Amino acid sequence: MIAHHTLSGCNLQPGDLLATGTQSGPLPEEAGSLLELSRGGREAVGLASGETRRFLEDGDAVILRAWCERAGAARIGFGEAAGRVLPALA
């Protein structure tokens, strides 16, 4: 992915988020992205704060945490990756 972006002239910068897709389950509550959870923006998703979202909005924070564990093995993870959605430049 990085080679493709850089060879095509993409202005890839340190801190840019790259993703290869979502890991979703077969049930609606196992959706792997906000786009899937909101059914393409048609249904609002309730947040713990009482707010709802169909899409990310300016000022929203996105925090990714992940790990893998198995009985008898050490739990491994990548810690936390976080970013904030900023308004588009004028």
Average pLDDT, the chain: 86
Q: What is the pLDDT of residue 7?
A: 80
User: How many angstroms separate the CA atoms of 39 and 44, rounded?
Assistant: 9
Q: What is the pLDDT of residues 29-61, one digit of tens each?
A: 788 888 888 988 999 999 899 999 999 999 999
Q: What is the pTM of this model?
A: 0.58
Q: What pLDDT band is residue 78 in, cutting at 50, 70 and 90?
A: confident
Instruction: Work out the percent of the chain whose per-residue pLDDT is above 70.
Output: 96
Give the tokens for residue 56: 């990310």
- SS (HEC) of 37-83: HCCCCCCCEECCCCCEECCCCCCCEEEEEEEECCCCCCCEEEEEEEE
